[in-house]
Amino acid sequence: MGNESNGTLQKVISDPRTVVYIDMADQHLERIGYTEHGRKHAEFVSQRAAYILEKLGFPDKSVRLAAIAGYLHDLGNLISRTNHGFSSAFLAKDILDENNFSIEDTATIMSAVGNHEDDGGEITNEITAAIIIGDKTHVHRSRVRNRNFISFDIHDRVNYAVTESRIDVDSAAKQIILNLAIDTGISEVVEYFEIFLSRMLLCKRAAEYLGTKFSMFINNVKLI
């Protein structure tokens, strides 16, 4: 295979392996009580990662690879939630190889996917940084499967309390801003940090890698 990639995001999305792996990974997580990690989450992370790099003026190729890595980042949940970043990277390899991605682009996507978690992952390129922010900021009530409020655990409660989640990128000020609206009648703001503090710190590291600062507003109050 040469150094030029002919692979596209649409080819990856429509590949039968991508469809089956994501759907079965999501089924696995549903059975063990996790929020939605299916095609909607994959599309969200893909779009948000690409948006961040595009707004910051990164090359079109980086934007394209971030979109693809974002879509494939959770395939490994099919095998196990534990170390799913690593297994996602290896599952992605065959899909990328079969869809005419260059060796270099395949390696870049594998590296980004394999390092998107906060349990030992390292940020060594802009693709990784972008999908980390895209993934870790996806908190919203639409991801909650369990609609029985009485049986909500803290993760369900916090996600369900988030009625708006928006990322703003100010390239001039070099800032990435997460804006959340939280219904405090459902979950107190402190509960968000109780379960997501490590993720927000990882977003801060990722933003710094991109040469920006990560800020966070909840109900129009700056908290980071």
Query: For all residues of the chain together, what is the average pLDDT?
Result: 93
Whether residue 201 has pLDDT greater than 80: yes
Domains of the chain: 9-222 (1.10.3210)
Q: Which residues are within 8 A (CB) of 185 and not within 5 positions of it... i.e. 6 or more apart?
A: none
Got the DSSP string for the chain? --S-----HHHHHHSHHHHHHHHHHHHHHHHTTPPP-SHHHHHHHHHHHHHHHHHTT--HHHHHHHHHHHHHTTGGGGT-STTHHHHHHHHHHHHHHHTT--HHHHHHHHHHHHT-STTT----SHHHHHHHHHHHT---GGG-----GGG--HHHHHHHHEEEEEEEEETTTTEEEEEEEE-TTTS-HHHHHHHHHHHHHHHHHHHHHTT-EEEEEETTEE--
Got the DSSP string for 124-154? -SHHHHHHHHHHHT---GGG-----GGG--H
Q: What is the rounded CA–CA span in Å between residue 101 and residue 107? A: 10
Convert the pLDDT of each residue in 102-129 to its tens digit: 999 999 999 999 999 877 778 999 999 9
Task: Tell me which residue of 66, 38, 36 sits closest to 50, measured CA to CA.
Answer: 66
Q: Which is it for the CA torsion 197, 203, 209, 215, positive or negative?
A: negative
Whether residue 155 has pLDDT greater than 50: yes
Convert the pLDDT of each residue in 73-111 to its tens digit: 999 999 988 888 899 999 999 999 999 999 999 999 999
Position 150 scores a pLDDT of 61
Residue bearing tokens 């109900």:
219
Q: Provide the whole-model pTM.
A: 0.93
Position 118 scores a pLDDT of 75
Convert the pLDDT of each residue in 158-194 to its tens digit: 999 999 999 999 999 999 999 999 999 999 999 999 9
